[in-house]
Amino acid sequence: MMLLATLDWYSLFFLLFALLTCGFAVGVLFSDNIVHMAFYLTLSLGSCAGLFFLAGAPFVGAMQLMIYVGGTVVLLAFGVMLTANANFSSLRIPRGGWVVSLIVGGLLLVLLLTAALRVESWRTPRDEAVLPLAEVQTATVLGAGLTGVRVDKLHEDDPVTRRGMSGYLLPFVIISVHLLVVLVGAAYMARTRIYRRSASGNPRSRTG
Amino acid sequence: MDTSLLPILLGVAVLLPLASFFTLLMIGRWLPQSWSGYIATTAIVTAGLLSFWSLSIWLFNHAPEAGSHQTAEHVASGQMPSVHARLVAQHDQPDGPAPATIPGQEPSPEVASHSPEAASHSPEAASQSPEAEHTSAEHGGKKHAYTDDYYLLGQFGRLRLTISYYIDSLTLVMFCVVSIIASCIHFYSMGYMHEEEGVFTDPEVTMKDGSLLKRPGRYWVFFMYLSLFCFSMLGLLLAGNVAMVFVFWELVGICSYFLIGFYVERKSASNAANKAFIVNRIGDFGMIIGLMALWTGLGTLAFGDVDASGNGTIEKAEQGIFTQVRSEESGYCLATPIGMVRQSARGEVGKWARQHPEAAVNGDTAELDKRLRQLQSERISDGKTPYGYWLLIIAGVGIFCGCVGKSAQFPLHVWLPDAMEGPTPVSALVHSATMVAAGVYLVGRFYPVFTPEVLFVIAIIGVFTLFMAATIAITATDIKRVLAYSTISQLGYMMMALGLGGWLAGMLHLVTHAFFKSLLLMCSGSVIHAVHTNEMPEMGGLRKKMPYTAYTMLVGCLAISGVCLPFLIGFSGYYSKDMILEQAFSFRGANAGWLGSLFFVTATGGAAITAFYMFRLWFMTFAGSPRNEHRYSHAYESPKTIYVPLVILAVFATAVAWHIPFVSVSLQGLLEQARPTGTAATVTSSMLGMTWPNEHIAHLDSQWWTIKFPVTMLATGTALGGILLAAVLYGFGVVNPDDVRRRFNLIYRFLINKWWFDELYDVLFVKPLHQISHVVSRIDQRWIDGLIDGLAWSVRWFARTWERVVDQGLVDGVVNVVGRWTYSIGASLRVVQTGSLRQYVMFLAIALIAIFLIVSFFWSPTLAF
Amino acid sequence: MAEFFVDRLSLSAPVGYTLAALIQCVLIVALIGVAALLFIWMERKISGRIQDRWGPNRVGGKFGWFQTLADGMKLLTKEDLAPKDAQVILFRLAPYVSFAASFSAYLALPFADGWVIAPMTMGLFFILAVLGLEVFGVILGGYASGSKWSLFGAIRQAAQVVSYEVPLAMCAVVPVFLCGTMDLVAIGEKQAGLFTNWLVFHDPFTFVIFWVYFTCTVASVNRSPFDLPEAESELVAGFLTEYSGLRWSFFFMAEYSSMLLVSGLAAILFFGGWNGPLPIFHCIGWAYQQSETTWRLTGYLANLAGCVNFLAKAVLGVTVMMWVRWTLPRLRIDQVITVCLKYCVPLAAICFVGALMWQTLAWPSPNDLVPVTPAGKAGVREQWVLQQAKNAGRENLVGVSGPATDMPVTDIVVRPLEQEGGEG
Amino acid sequence: MYLLLAQITVAHYLVVGAVLFVTGVLCMATKRNAIGVLIGIELVLNGANLNFIAFGSKYLRHDTLGFDGQLIALFVIVLAAAEAAVALAIALNFYNNHTTIDVDKAEDLKG
């Protein structure tokens, strides 16, 4: 009971989601079965969305769920199913490769953790109490920001910042067009005619 | 009903045919064939409705007031308004505010002698300043022309290129005429061209294997061209500046080229199209010279004063051509504009600039202008031609050159008869409302710019053309060619009238002729449609088979002959032709001697000949007994789409020049409103020693017995005489035409060969040109080719040597060495490119770590730890 | 509810929250369970009536009440099999994934004014996102079954759902911008008043877009005529081929709960949510006013009625889905994709633009004809820009043409900021 | 227990992000399956995203990126989706051409 009373719920949920995220990420790394990898990835990304919720970015979190988990992972599953053949096990890499990778990865992790923990201000918590979640309202601000109006910067003194010069209309438009092009391109690539070497030795025979 | 609507309405009316053209151009090929006809017809009919709307707006705002022609004829002399008198009197004043700025203009005794009544009214008129006269001449202070820019295309120094409009009653009348006739022709074409709707078999083109040419019908192409033609003509009418005029002028030319050569597979058609185009180019060359002369001297392209600043004040730089040529301070008399003076008095300008360097630098030309004016008046008082006057003459003659080409005047008339190769509706359009009318219209439009000398040239050309063409028409047997020569002749009448100072007469004849000539041509088309031949000797007696065509054509013949009940009522041709003859007679009165009489005599004789050949045509075609039974038996009345337009046009050909009872609206009154300011004046050319009488003089009541009565009686008499002769020869067969032909064999040969014009041109221009070309080609092949071959050989030799020594030795060596280095470096680096994705990722990670470590240890240790 | 425990009963916060969470879980599970039972029975009866037969009429009396329960017993007692080739863990896990996704979407679904488990400012988005996860379970199950029928079903399901999410989202966005919020409670509140205030009647485009939305939801919950993934005549039973017993029934629970969910969502987005066609409770003053938070009995009763109202609308939607299922033949897979890409997406896009135009140009909607409505016009009342400006002490940043209290966004003109340079 | 009682800071998020990042890199380095590599990329991007969110969160710091962090995260998510679509198309094409999805076989352009 004592513990419950002093428990910081925010920390509890953070730890829960962080553990899930990292755990399933590691699961992805060490899993050999591609379907399991995709499944773990889903869970990892879903937990990560939980972290986003916790960090006061519910819109990004929901976006993560919708696009990553609902879209990308389904796409991955598609890829898995369309390219599946029996012997995934043959796609293991040699033990030596694992060792080198783990060493380099460990170094990288050490490097990143050092960098993350070095800065003092990143380690000092915010002094006020955590704001209640219900007050967080982000969708409108983000939408306005994407259309070039920074309602969150209205209090700033720099007129350039206030006027919406810091908005993201142009990147938003660029990225929209980019997305469209990518979708068209992906659809095109996925159904281009394929030249496959046929058994008869004629390399140009068309198999559609 | 505001006049500000006019430019919008007319602009839309111009653009509608263009829209139709583009529609057909883009999708006409795929539309059902009949649709293209509907589209084009809808466009032109709508344009016509808009034109009439505009006309009604105009009439609402500019009711023709008493004092214009028709009232002058009918009002008793005691109530005669003083406009005529004032117009005459004003130029009678030697010491008016603007004394004799016209070169060589002196008070003319002829004018005084022609206007005794005017003299009696002159006391009160004399006290009026020219401004007061001007405002009253401009119909109660209302603007007689609207001009402005639709759109400024660009400004290049002084040159303003704009899309602008110039709207006066002439524009509106011409709009209505063109759109009525074009609408009729569109309807007519829908019937006439129906063979083009499916696969068209061309009866006149034989393929190599002996079969007739079969091709997909070009119904939509035809209507597309018609639309473009209408657009060009309407645009020409609306154009508010010279540049636009030229553009539309050329568009009209190219449209006629397309349409005359519509049956492009026929050799004769494509030749005729080429001929029309090339002959027109000759005229247009002169026109460009004229336009450039105008632009050089006046510095503007616009007709009227364009309010460029948009604040109601007219900037000096934007004074239009008309204002500059007939400026207010010169009393609206033709005066050499100061720009032209400056252009030609370069010596004086240079002298002035040396004396006043600061003003020259500042571009302050007011002083200079004053000096130039002074010089000019000195020269005028010395009796010399003032500075720049020749420039004005060149401009006038140049512009008239263009009109000669378009309106088929001698010596460029040769294209028009050949243009009959086009489909008949096209001929009708070309001959009445569009192409040839453009020339006359332009002369009328540029009338204020023409000096008496230019007018004389116009008159001479016109009178010669009218006679020559009329005589040729006598012997022609091709029904359409008769009409073609008739057109040339009638155009000659118009030109002559304009050249003799009869602006209103010329313009009126343009309108009336448009109606009856389109009627006649479409009737002939109907006949051709029925009998499938153009040759009149194979027709005859068709009256019973095709009554509508016969009687509408009879109306046309009566109209062109100017038949009337004298002084009471007549067909439209009566009014216009009479007016022309009256002006010629008036001119004869003002200028003694054979030259003065030549015009009247020739014109009257021409009228007789006209009546003769028109009725010859009618009798040969419709009267008597059939000469070719086969063709007669297959003849039939044309469908409704063909004869209904004929009936409509017949009504117009009869009544267009009538004075509508109880309303003061008539065609003459309307046209009179558009008369360029200051042109209703008696002018004299000292250079030629001739006088151009004021057009109003011929219609003064005081002159009724001396001009109107004799001329009318004479004209009626000659017309009836011509008709009678035709009836005697062809109608009743009293005299056998063949006997006549044998008796006048020499003249007959002369006429049937069209005065040997084509042969003459062949000998004069074509043959020598061929000879010269031949010689030039020999020089080209022998000498120039040899020289060039030699040059080429030496260059090749040099290039070979250069290649061996420099290129292969030096350049290739360097490039090869560099290439070898690059290759060896690349070969040693390729080991790294294992193609293994995983390895690359490891490289990346290791590099990241390495960079971080290097930076932190060797560069800035505080960054890491 | 948690506030109730903590504030009223003065429990400690963790305990209060835990209790509230438990109660809500139980409520939702109960609701879905009962609803599923009811719907299966309804489905049978409706199909029977449509096919001109009685449907279940033996078990449980005259109407066959107990047929579903009996079926449930049968399913519970069936043997839980996994095929030899199956990837057992995923195979067993898949139904739960599906069910959990469908279940957790209820987190953000309000049943009445304020009666929502987790009040979220982006509730709609959350629901759409979580609902999209349901397909993952199906894919996993289909793949892990080790059967080609299942695999085909899963691929079809993935293709279908991924395709239909696009028009679905486009349709759902329309009410969002009409109301200026993604908060489902707020969207529901703004449709209070006469039925003319419901967004489906807002303008012709919203009326059309509701039908597009309905079509897309039918497709996204795999109901006939879009039930390709389980097309029994060609794929045996699609992704369900290898499932039996309780796991099979979990998939079915998920399907029925999704049906209820999307129907409820439709009710909130287009049909006024818990607001009846006549605003009785608003007129007698029982209903909660906007942003009123205190607890009172009359308000509770009004909410209860609203909840019934909402459930009735949702059940009506489900009924229509059943009616459609037993009326229309199943589409081919290419037809399914064609319907989505060639018809639904363009139609949704056009209606999106059209409704946007209607709102922006302030064209009349039927609600304008109603003289007095308690909640006013369902319009854009989001005043974020204004509020933020006020918070920043820069009211004059924003030009206001009208009373600042209730003003459509279209009237807000953000003026260039240099003009007020002296003030900064 | 310390962690449970401590207040969460940016650094905590950064640690999770670092783990995700390293896992993703290792995933890329150790998977021969092209889709595995793709999954690794997704993990890396998510690690980066987490950092952005953390730096932008006003629960964790005073001096935050503000909404810029979230906006950039949104962009990353969208771009990642696009990238996944293209990469999958490439993978499918590769599979169709080589009947395998082993990236070690994708060495046609090897030096």
Which of B846, B852, B864 is nearest residue A104 as measured by Cβ atoms? B846
3-state SS of B707-738 is HHHHHHHHHHHHHHHHHHHHHHHHHCCCCCHH
The answer on pLDDT for B689 being more than 80 is no
Q: Which two tokens stand for residue B99?
A: 């004394």
Average pLDDT over residues B768-795: 91
Q: Does the pLDDT value for residue B329 go beyond 80?
A: no
The verdict on C199 and C326 lying in the same domain is: yes
What Rg value do the Cα atoms of chain D yield, rounded?
A: 18
Which residue, C351, C97, C100, C305, is CA-closest to C202? C351
Q: In Å, how far are A175, B188, C39, C111, C300 from C312, measured between CA atoms?
A: 43, 72, 13, 11, 18
Cβ atoms of C137 and A73 within 8 Å: the answer is no
Whether residue A113 lies within 8 A of chain B, CB to CB, comes out as no
The pLDDT value given to residue C413: 39
Per DSSP, the three-state class of B203 is strand
pLDDT of res. A148 = 72
- The token duo for D10 is 């940016």
Residue window 822-861, chain B: list those with CB within 8 Å of chain A. Answer: 838, 842, 845-846, 848-849, 852
How does DSSP classify residue C366?
G
Nearest to B589 by CA among B109, B157, B51: B109
**Using the beta-carbon criterion (under 8 Å), do A36 and C139 form an inter-chain contact?**
no
pLDDT at position B27: 87
Of the three residues C77, C96, C114, the one that is the final residue of a domain is C77
Instruction: Report phi then psi at A63, rounded to 5.
Output: -60, -45
Look up the ipTM and state it: 0.71
Distance from CA of A26 to the nearest CA of D (A): 6
Q: Which residues of D touch A189 (CB under 8 A)?
A: 86, 89-90, 92-93
Please spell the DSSP secondary structure of B518-529, one letter per residue: HHHHHHHHHHHH
Lowest-confidence range among A166-180, B126-140, B149-163, D18-32? B126-140
CA distances to A182, B144, D79, D82 from A176, rounded to whole Å, are: 10, 60, 10, 10
Q: How far apart are CA A4 and CA A9, in angstroms?
A: 9
The pLDDT of residue C251 is above 70 = yes
Q: Assess if residue C379 is contained within a domain.
A: no
Cβ neighbors of B779 (< 8 A, separation 6 or more) are none
Domain ends where: C50, C77, C104?
A: C77
Given this model, what pLDDT does residue B335 score? 74
CB B165 within 8 A of CB B248: no
Distance from CA of D111 to the nearest CA of B (A): 4
Query: For C383-402, what is the mean pLDDT?
Result: 45
Cα(B113)–Cα(B697) distance, integer angstroms: 11
DSSP element (H, E) containing C413:
strand C413-414
Write the secondary structure of B566-613 as one string of H (helix), E (strand) and C (coil). CCCEECHHHHHHHHHHHHHHHHHHHCCCHHHHHHHHHHHHHHHHHHHH
Whether pLDDT at B73 is above 50: no
Q: Which two tokens stand for residue C19?
A: 């209790």
Residue B80, pLDDT above cutoff 70: no
Spatial separation of the C-alpha atoms in residues A14 and A3, rounded to whole Å: 17
The pLDDT value given to residue C408 = 37
Expressed in percent and rounded to 5, the helix, strand and coil fractions of chain B are: 70, 5, 25
Torsion angle, alpha carbons of C304, C305, C311, C312, to 10: 160
Is residue B104 scored above 70 in pLDDT? no
The torsion of the CA quartet C9, C12, C18, C22, rounded to 10 degrees, works out to -20
Q: Are residues C67 and C90 in the same domain?
A: no
End-to-end CA distance of chain A: 68
Alpha-carbon span B38 to B187, nearest angstrom:
9
What is the dihedral sign for C-alpha B164, B166, B167, B170? negative
- Contact: D104, B837; criterion CB under 8 Å: yes
Do C404 and C308 share a domain, yes or no? no
Give me the amino acid identity at A41. Answer: L
Separation of alpha carbons B443 and B321, rounded Å: 14
Same domain, C60 and C165: no
Residues of A in contact with B842 (CB under 8 A): 100-101, 104
Q: Find the residue in C nearest to A150 (Cα).
A: C385
Cα nearest neighbour of A137 on chain C: C121
Q: Is the dihedral of CA B99, B105, B108, B110 positive or negative?
A: negative
Both structure tokens of A48: 């990560």
Which alpha helices (H) appear in B623-752, and where do they start and end? 629-634, 640-655, 667-673, 709-726, 737-743, 745-752
- Predicted local distance difference test score (pLDDT) of residue B317: 47
Q: In this structure, are C244 and C356 located in the same domain?
A: yes
Mean pLDDT over B588-615 rounds to 85
Distance separating alpha carbons of residues C252 and C233, to the nearest angstrom: 18
Q: What is the mean pLDDT of residues C1-8?
A: 66
Residue C107 has phi, psi (to 5 degrees) of -50, -40
C177's tokens: 């911008």
In chain C, the residue whose alpha carbon lies closest to the alpha carbon of A40 is C90
Higher per-residue pLDDT: A87 or B380:
B380
Chain B (372-431) residues lying within 8 Å, Cβ to Cβ, of chain A: none
Region D8-102: CATH code: 1.10.287.3510
Q: Which of B525, B529, B582 is nearest to B556 (CA)?
A: B525
Q: What are phi and psi of B720, to 5 degrees?
A: -65, -35
What residues of A are in contact with residue C159 (Cβ under 8 Å)? Answer: 78
Domain identity same for C231 and C335: yes
In whole angstroms, give the CA distance from residue B336 to residue B324: 8
Examine the pLDDT at A174 and tell me if it is beyond 90: no
Highest-pLDDT range among A7-21, B765-779, C130-144: B765-779
Element (H, E) at B146: strand B145-156
Asked if C118 reaches chain A (Cβ–Cβ under 8 Å), the answer is: no
pLDDT digits (tens, 9 = 90+) for B812-823: 989 999 999 999
Residues C134 and C55 in one domain: no
- Examine the pLDDT at B789 and tell me if it is beyond 80: yes
Helix segments in C229-296, DSSP class H = 232-235, 245-270, 280-283
Nearest to A152 among D61, D67, D77 (CB): D67
Asked whether residue C348 falls in the same domain as residue C414, the answer is no
Distance CA(B419)–CA(B429), nearest Å, equals 11
Indicate the pLDDT class of residue C394, thresholds 50, 70 and 90.
Answer: very low
Which H or E element spans position B152?
A: strand B145-156
Name the percent of chain B lying above pLDDT 70: 86
Q: Which of A139, A149, A155 sits opposite C414 (nearest CB)?
A: A149
Per the domain annotation, does C375 fall within a domain? no
Q: Which domain holds residue C26?
A: 1-77
C-beta separation of C213 from C317 below 8 A: no
What average pLDDT score do residues B800-822 get? Answer: 90
Over the stretch B651-677, which tens digit does the pLDDT of each residue have? Answer: 888 888 887 766 767 788 788 877 877
Is the CB of residue B828 less than 8 Å away from at least one CB of chain D? no
Specify if C19 maps to a domain. Answer: yes
Residue B864 sits at the chain A interface (C-beta within 8 Å): yes
Exposed e or buried b for every residue in C11-31, given b needs 16+ CB within 10 A?
A: beebbbbebbeeebeeebeee
Using pLDDT thresholds of 50, 70 and 90, give the confidence band for residue C150: confident
Do B396 and B451 form a contact (C-beta atoms < 8 A)? yes
Give the C-alpha separation, C9 to B139, whole Å: 101
- Rg, Å, chain C Cα set: 24
Choose the weakest-confidence range: A177-186, B339-348, C201-210.
Answer: B339-348
| Residue-wise pLDDT tens digits, B140-167 | 444 577 887 888 787 777 777 888 888 8
Contact B495, B455 (CB under 8 A): no
Is it the case that residue A129 has pLDDT exceeding 50? Answer: yes
Cβ neighbours, 10 Å, residue A3 = 10
Per-residue pLDDT tens over the stretch B506-535: 888 999 988 888 888 888 888 888 888 888
pLDDT of residue B122: 34
B700 or C321, which is more confident: C321
Q: Is the pLDDT of residue A51 over 50?
A: yes
Provide the percentage of residues in chain B whose pLDDT is more than 90: 7
H or E segment and range at residue B147: strand B145-156
- Angle A99-A105-A106 from CA coordinates, rounded to 5°: 90
Task: Specify the range with the lowest mean pLDDT, choosing from B58-67, C57-66, C247-256.
Answer: B58-67
Nearest residue of A to residue C120 by CA position? A134
Q: Which residue did the predictor score with more confidence, B538 or B116? A: B538
Chain CA centroid to CA A144, Å: 23
- CA atoms in the 13 A half-sphere facing the CB of C86: 22
Q: Give the range among B448-452, C6-10, C45-49 with minimum mean pLDDT.
A: C6-10
| Alpha carbons C261 and C127: distance in angstroms, whole number | 9
User: Quick one: tokens of B329?
Assistant: 């301070």
Distance CA B19, CA B1 (A): 26
Q: Chain C contacts of A167, Cβ < 8 Å?
A: none
How is B470-532 classified by DSSP, letter by letter?
HHHHHH--BHHHHHHHHHHHHHHHHHHHHHTT-HHHHHHHHHHHHHHHHHHHHHHHHHHHHHS
C182 shares a domain with C145: yes
| Range C253-259 average pLDDT | 87
C50 vs C62: CA distance, rounded Å: 19
Which residues in B201-220 are b (16+ Cβ under 10 Å) and which e? ebeebeeeeeeeeeeebbbb
Q: Taking Cα atoms as reference points, which of B707, B491, B691 lies closest to residue B586?
A: B707
